[in-house]
Amino acid sequence: MITVTGAAGMLGSRLVDRLTADGHQVRGVDLRDESTVTDVGDIRDARLLDRALADSSVVIHCAAALPSYPPDQIRSVIVDGTRSVFAAAQRARAARVVHVSSTAVYGLPRQVPTPEQHPRTPVDTYSAAKAAAEEIAEEHRAAGLPVAVLRPKTFLGPGRMGLFAMLFEWAEEGRNFPVLGRGDVRIQMFAVDDLVDAVVTVLNAPDEVANDTYNLGADHFGTLREDFQAVLDAAGHGRRVVSLPARPALAALSLLERLRLSPVYGRLLHKLMADSYVSTDKARRRLGFQPKLSNQDAILRTYEWWRAERHRARPAGQGRTSRDPWRQGALAAAKIFF
């Protein structure tokens, strides 16, 4: 039996479907009652987890808060939730836990490509919570529980909305799309299908290989300008990525964030100003894992899905899940200039 937390999310739901198709018995835990969820409730509920993890040999911990959550909820869901999941796994005598973390734990590293041994240097509430959750995972690893910690870059694919929905909407409406500065920074992303493959690879690896920490990201990626332009080209309106003066635009967006008039959070703003990619050599060497899809493959697949499904998409919200489009706030009004 395999238990997946966050089973209604973009990653968790795909994992449940994949593992079930592979012949595994799977239980899914999530607050939302969807087809991939067998146990509806909060991961901080010990009794719920004891029920969901009964007879489970493997736990895959995907549940988390997004950076758009209020700070106290981010800390509670990510840190307290992770502590609760690992405690329940210990009570259930699970043989292995796969903890889905994030490259956000590196903060805004100056070393690129960033290796796994780079210090955790969180710069905001979200990255600090993800770093603290990793510390919990490592405590259990040190106590003898095999724990795989996976650090994916921002992953996307069919079902992904969030801020990507803004790019897709502007492209579909025949608008240009702005980038900070020249847009020549290299931002690595990761296809969700490749992330699912990576999790399955870890599940099939022996303990001495799985019991480690791995960066995950696309092998092939270009600049942010190139990736965004690929979407504009696919829209077919002949529009272009346009540069905004970096420092004034950054100051304006930071002010809008503080006034809660923009969904673009601070760490993302600063990340878009410099190269951001990690070394995936370790995953290739130890796991034998190599992603199939490039940045552009992933973003164009997501855009194709969005075009087909946008009229059935959920209404824009506050970014409670990565499957929801975010309200653009003041940025929606800025469309008239592009």
Q: pLDDT tens across 151-170, in order?
A: 999 999 988 777 788 889 99
- Are the C-beta atoms of residues 324 and 316 closer than 8 Å to each other? yes
* 114 in the same domain as 24: yes
Q: Are residues 63 and 133 in the same domain?
A: yes
Considering the domain architecture, whether residues 104 and 181 belong to the same structural domain is answered as no
- 284 pLDDT higher than 50: yes
Pairing of strands 2-5, 26-30: parallel
Number of structural domains (the chain) is 2
**Amino acid identity, residue 16?**
V
With 60 as the cut, is the pLDDT of residue 3 above it? yes
Give the tens place of pLDDT for each residue, 187-215.
999 999 999 999 999 999 999 999 999 99
45-82 confidence digits (pLDDT tens): 999 999 999 999 999 999 999 888 899 999 999 999 99
Distance separating the N- and C-terminal Cα atoms of the chain = 52
Local structure of 284: helix, strand or coil: helix
Helix axes 164-172, 295-309, angle to 10 degrees: 70
CA–CA dist 163, 187 (Å, integer): 15
Higher pLDDT among residues 229 and 252, named by residue: 229
255 and 317 within one domain: yes
180 and 139 in a common domain: no
Alpha helix (H) residue ranges in the chain = 10-21, 46-53, 71-75, 81-91, 125-142, 164-172, 192-204, 207-210, 224-235, 246-258, 266-271, 281-282, 295-309, 330-333
User: What torsion, rounded to 10 degrees, do the Cα atoms 228, 233, 238, 241 define?
Assistant: 10
| Cα–Cα distance measured from residue 137 to residue 86, given in angstroms and rounded to the nearest whole number | 7
pLDDT: which is higher, 5 or 331: 5
* Cis-peptide into 113, omega within 30 deg: yes
Q: Is 322's pLDDT higher than 60?
A: no
The reply to whether 284 falls in a domain is no
Radius of gyration of the CA atoms of the chain, in A: 20
- CATH code (residue 125): 3.40.50.720
Q: How far is CA 75 from CA 46, 102, 212, in A?
A: 18, 15, 24
- Give the pLDDT score at 26: 97
Residues 6+ apart with CB under 8 A from 315: 325
Residues 277 and 116: their CA atoms lie apart, in Å, by 12
Q: Do 209 and 308 fall within a single domain?
A: no
Strand partners, 100: 150
Measured between alpha carbons, how far is residue 303 from residues 175, 263, 264 in Å?
15, 20, 20
Q: Are residues 115 and 141 in the same domain?
A: yes
Q: Is there a domain that residue 281 lies in?
A: no
Residues 237 and 151 in one domain: no
Which value, to the nearest 10 degrees, does the dihedral of the CA atoms of residues 181, 273, 99, 69 take? Answer: -80
Q: Does residue 283 sit within a domain?
A: no
CATH number assigned to the domain comprising residue 330:
3.90.25
Q: What's the CA gap between 222 and 294, in Å, rounded?
A: 9
Does residue 203 sit in the same domain as residue 224?
no
Same domain, 177 and 264: yes
Domain co-membership, 90 together with 209: yes
- What burial class does residue 247 get, using C-beta atoms within 10 Å of its C-beta: 0-12 exposed, 13-18 middle, 19+ buried? exposed
Give the domain range for residue 147.
2-156+189-216
Q: What are phi and psi of 114, to 5 degrees?
A: -85, 120
SS3 assignment, position 79: helix
